[in-house]
């Protein structure tokens, strides 16, 4: 992206800096912080280009934060004092612009200095900002020399976890895939209309049945959105619901259902869906999407680990709460908001919900457990422990034909394991795990 007189300027950069500060300083999700900027912040009346550019700067900064901070430490030899205010964030986002977004260096430098000058604390450090960034433009290769950008992109606990689980080569490929902006994947309501909507949208029909477009622009403005012909859903996230098989006319329980992409899938497959989640706010989004698509599902606001409905189901889908480390390509903030303590806490919660779900499944029924995490504790380890506790359950292995013939997505045990680097040349996919279980007695 080259900076021109028509491109977003200072307001977009100030917004991006606030977004990064919200994630790293206040532990707020990037989506949440961005929504506030757009609805009641400085971006409320901004042009679409300003909004998109602010989000791109913030997302790119977080994707490359490890390398950016190593470069920062070479540019600024002494730690900045607390009275420097947002100076570090101004520099971080400007480095992202220059090195990773292709913004004209002079524009990035000048506007970073303007950003510093506009803040009561950072204004005293605008000369430092100017000098540091001008040095970066002259000595970028030297300043980056010796930096392992892939290793720097992950906190220590995640690096160790991914290398142990998948090997260093796959871990590095996964990290590289997270540096790219994710494409837009959609699920079409009527399966027979996939080719039609692929043509209308200029999208590619992927092996698993999802449609893929280049990201960018307003989703609401795309053909078919208003009439509810499709919804946004990552390719990997669209697989687990289909692993239940033919559910037409059958009762299906969707546990931890919000925000509801899998509920929409099941309803579009003709199932009688009961969608349960403990968050009324998140379920509101599902209600809106059901109304837009003309699909129907029963909605229950309850705790999935405690709900006592007084009946069982033949089909249950459990998309369990997790660290969501498999979604970093779309949500780079997750790498800095989640810790190994969160993984352990959520793993314990998954165990409680999974054990309760087992009691809600009829004899002979099918339960699909899934998470958008890359952590073994939230995936295969969880299932191994479950099968040890529940001798009346067994795996029903997933076959390559069920995932578009992509055999690399199926583990030797017969589970689904997608990595962000799968289909890398076509834009990758989120990291997902799923296991299909049957209750024998």
Domains and CATH numbers, the chain: 10-147 (1.10.940.10), 234-439 (3.40.50.150)
Backbone φ and ψ of 364, nearest 5°? 85, -5
Detail the residues annotated as belonging to a binding site. 256-262, 277, 303, 319
Phi-psi region of 338 (alpha: psi -120 to 50; beta: other; left: phi over 0): beta
Prior bond of 66 cis (ω within 30°): no
- Which residues are annotated as catalytic? 372
pLDDT value of position 4: 36
Measured between its terminal Cα atoms, the distance across the chain in Å is: 60
pLDDT value of position 8: 59
The CA-atom distances, in angstroms, between 397 and each of 138, 238, 316 are 56, 18, 16
Q: Around Cβ 220, how many Cβ atoms within 10 Å? A: 7
d(CA 128, CA 122): 10
d(CA 175, CA 309): 43
Nearest 5°: the CA angle 380, 383, 387 is 140
Nearest residue to 314 (alpha-carbon basis) of 363, 269, 266, 355: 363
Q: Which residues contact 254 (CB under 8 A, 6 or more apart)?
A: 262, 263, 266, 273, 274, 275, 276, 297, 316, 317, 319
Radius of gyration of the chain (CA): 23
Q: Around Cβ 278, how many Cβ atoms within 10 Å? A: 17
Residue 401 CB-half CA count within 13 A: 1
Nearest residue to 96 (alpha-carbon basis) of 73, 121, 65, 120: 65
pLDDT value of position 7: 46
Instruction: Give the pairing of strands 432-439 and 230-232.
Output: unpaired
Phi-psi region of 102 (alpha: psi -120 to 50; beta: other; left: phi over 0): left
With b for 16 or more beta-carbon neighbours within 10 A and e for fewer, the 47-57 pattern comes to eeebbbbbbbb
Nearest residue to 152 (alpha-carbon basis) of 91, 73, 70: 70
Detail the residues annotated as belonging to a binding site for S-adenosyl-L-methionine. 256-262, 277, 303, 319
Please, which residues bridge with residue 439 across strands? Answer: 393
Mark the ranges of the chain whose per-residue pLDDT is less than 50: 1-7
């Amino acid at each position: 992206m080259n900076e021109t007189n028509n491109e977003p300027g200072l307001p977009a950069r100030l917004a991006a800096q606030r977004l990064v500060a919200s994630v790293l300083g206040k532990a707020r999700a990037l989506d949440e912080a961005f929504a506030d900027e757009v609805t009641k912040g400085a971006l409320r009346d901004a042009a679409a280009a300003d909004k998109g550019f602010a989000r791109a700067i913030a997302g790119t900064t977080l994707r490359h934060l490890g390398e950016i901070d190593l470069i920062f430490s070479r540019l600024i030899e002494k730690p900045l004092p607390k009275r420097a205010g947002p100076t570090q964030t101004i520099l971080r986002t400007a480095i992202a612009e220059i090195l990773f977004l292709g913004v004209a260096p002079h524009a990035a430098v000048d506007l970073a200095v303007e950003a510093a000058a506009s803040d009561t604390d950072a204004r005293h450090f605008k000369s430092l900002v100017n000098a540091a960034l001008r040095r970066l433009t002259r000595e970028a290769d030297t300043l980056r020399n010796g930096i392992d950008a892939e290793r720097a992109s992950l906190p220590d606990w995640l690096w160790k976890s991914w290398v142990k689980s998948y090997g260093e080569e796959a871990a590095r490929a996964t990290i590289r895939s997270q540096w790219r902006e994710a494409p837009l994947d959609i699920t079409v309501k009527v399966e027979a209309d996939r080719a039609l909507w692929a043509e209308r949208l200029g999208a590619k029909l992927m092996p698993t049945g999802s449609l893929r477009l280049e990201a960018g622009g307003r989703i609401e403005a795309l053909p078919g959105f208003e009439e509810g012909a499709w919804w946004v859903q990552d390719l990997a996230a669209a697989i687990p619901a289909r692993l239940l098989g033919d559910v037409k006319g059958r009762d299906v329980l969707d546990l931890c259902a919000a925000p509801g992409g899998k509920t929409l899938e099941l309803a579009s497959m003709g199932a009688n869906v009961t969608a349960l989640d403990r968050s009324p706010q998140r379920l509101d989004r599902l209600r809106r999407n059901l109304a837009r698509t003309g699909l129907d599902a029963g909605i229950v606001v309850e705790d999935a680990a405690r709900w006592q409905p007084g009946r069982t189901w033949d089909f249950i889908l459990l998309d369990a709460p997790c660290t969501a480390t498999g979604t970093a390509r779309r949500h780079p903030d997750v790498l800095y908001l989640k810790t190994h303590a969160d993984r352990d806490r959520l793993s314990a919660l998954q165990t409680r919900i999974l054990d309760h779900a087992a009691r809600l499944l009829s004899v002979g029924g099918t339960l699909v457990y899934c998470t958008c995490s890359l952590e073994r504790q939230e995936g295969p380890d969880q299932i191994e422990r479950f099968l040890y506790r529940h001798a009346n359950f067994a795996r029903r292995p997933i076959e390559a034909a069920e995932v578009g013939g992509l055999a690399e997505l199926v583990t030797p045990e017969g589970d689904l394991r997608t990595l962000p680097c799968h289909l890398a040349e076509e834009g990758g996919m989120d990291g997902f795990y799923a296991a299909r279980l049957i209750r024998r007695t």
